[in-house]
Amino acid sequence: MISVKNLSKKFGDIVVLRDINANINKGEVISIIGPSGTGKSTFLRCLNLLETPSGGSISIDGIDLLGKETNVPKIRQRMGMVFQSFNLYAHLTILENLTIGPIKLLKKKESDANKKAMELLKLVGLAEKAYNFPDELSGGQKQRVAIARCLAMECEIILFDEPTSALDPTMVSEVLSVIRKLAKEGLTMLIVTHEMEFAKNISSRVFYMDEGIIYEEGTPEQIFENPQQEKTRAFIHRVRSMYYNISSSNYDLYKLQGDIARFCEKHVISQKTSEYAQMLAEEVIVMQKDYSDINIILSYSEKEGTLVLTCESGGEQYNPLEDEFHEIAVMIIKGRCKSVEYSFSEGKNVLTLGIKNE
Ligand code: ADP
Ligand code: MG
């Protein structure tokens, strides 16, 4: 149904989409996930021509979207878009919000448009709000109206751009339920979302976007249970990291420990584990021989609840774990960790400590 080839988009010198390739079949529900700033919104906006692509091609049922003769309003009508921020007309009733498009653009009779709009409001559970104004509705209700408005335009494809990001947590599920219902009815949908459980349950395929491309794609099982790429894995497991670079033995230990404390606080890691992490950082640094380029990395996997401290250092190959001189430090470290490993690769000494959770 939709075919995207070598799609690229630049804003000035900034390349946002490098080379997007995708084929989407009728009735598919595609979730698009990925870190912010990776071009997910830009991709959706290129699809319905809210942005003009810099290169490549997009076609819908064989019609070239970027062709000179293409009827852009007609294409847009086939492809509705639901935004984070509802975009309803504040001065029109809910019913009028649904009928204005069909009457003005699809040239429908008012009575037919009203009838269809009421059916759709029933579908999204808001028939009793037909004569209210948008301001009188909650965020979740407004978003359901926005979805019904797309359907009123008889669109065949709906593009959702983080439809629940602007909502209170209590209202997320009512919107997701409506989207789930539409998926069952066979509507073709592309959904940019941060709701991983939802994406996992609803999608036929998942696109992970990063570095201006569809970095990895697959079924929800493939992407969520067995991602092949490291970046996808990190994103799925919500691995958050902090980095600290040391370039001389006069480094600021207190700053490092403060950074670790803040990182742990932010990720609701216990006080005790935080203190372990600070102490372990100090111990691993003390054991180093070459202070010219040490990287301390603390990574926390939200999904697995594990905290890992990594110390990378340059210089010659040196494993402090096997150095008698550090016997006591190594004992302390081993007592506080689930795993302690050393490796040497690409000119880097790497110590990896899996910190015990307390
Ligand atoms: P995402 O939706 O994945 O968070 P976006 O598609 O919104 O990412 O944005 C990707 C990048 O493109 C960002 O760095 C953003 O600043 C930039 N960008 C988006 N729209 C514009 C624009 N109209 N002009 C300039 N830069 C833009
Ligand atoms: Mg976005």
DSSP for 166-204? TS-HHHHHHHHHHHHHHHHTT-EEEEE-S-HHHHHHH-S
| Ligand 1 centre distance from Cα of residue 119 (Å) | 37
Answer whether residue 88 shows pLDDT above 80: yes
This prediction's pTM: 0.74
**Residues 155-168: what's their mean pLDDT?**
90
Residue 38 Cβ inside 6 Å of ligand 1? The answer reads yes
- Mean of pLDDT over the chain: 92
Cα dihedral 53, 59, 63, 64 sign? positive
CA of 45 to the centre of ligand 2 (A): 10
More confident residue, 165 or 120: 120
Distance CA(170)–CA(329), nearest Å, equals: 49
| CB-neighbour burial class of residue 354 (10 A; exposed 0-12, middle 13-18, buried 19+) | middle
The preferred substitution site among 13, 14, 15, 16 for testing ligand 1, maximizing ligand atoms within 8 Å of CB, is 16
Q: Is the pLDDT of residue 304 over 80?
A: no
C-alpha of 249 from chain center: 39
CA–CA gap between residue 2 and residue 58 (Å, rounded): 7
More confident residue, 166 or 19: 19
Q: Residue 86: is its pLDDT beyond 80?
A: yes
User: What H or E segment, with its residue span, contains residue 337?
Assistant: strand 337-345
Q: Residue written as tokens 């592309």?
A: 190
Atom of ligand 1 nearest to the CA of 162: 2
Q: Given the CA of residue 36, which atom of ligand 1 is nearest to it?
A: 4
120, 90, 91, 114: which is closest to 102 by C-alpha? Answer: 114
Could you read off the pLDDT of 321-341 as tens digits, one per residue?
Answer: 999 999 999 999 999 999 999
> Is the shortest distance between the CB of 35 and ligand 1 below 6 Å?
no
The whole-number average pLDDT for the span 122-150 is: 95
**Protein residue with least CA distance to atom 18, ligand 1:** 11
CB 175 within 8 A of CB 164: yes
pLDDT for position 146: 95
**H-type alpha helices, the chain:** 40-47, 72-78, 94-104, 110-123, 139-152, 169-184, 196-202, 220-225, 230-236, 253-266, 271-286, 327-336
Q: Which structure tokens are listed for 344?
A: 């040497």
Q: Is the CB of 52 under 6 A from ligand 1?
A: no
Q: Is 129 in the pocket of ligand 1 (CB under 6 A)?
A: no
40 touches ligand 1 (CB under 6 Å):
yes
Residue among 15, 41, 47, 208 whose CB has most ligand 1 atoms within 8 A, to mutate:
41
Report every protein residue that has its C-beta within 5 angstroms of ion ligand 2. 41
Q: What angle do CA 324, 326, 328 make, to 5 degrees?
A: 105
**Phi/psi of residue 39, each to 5°?**
95, 15
Q: Whose CA is nearest to atom 24 of ligand 1?
A: 11
Whole-number pLDDT of residue 198: 86
Residue 38 CA: nearest ligand 1 atom is 3
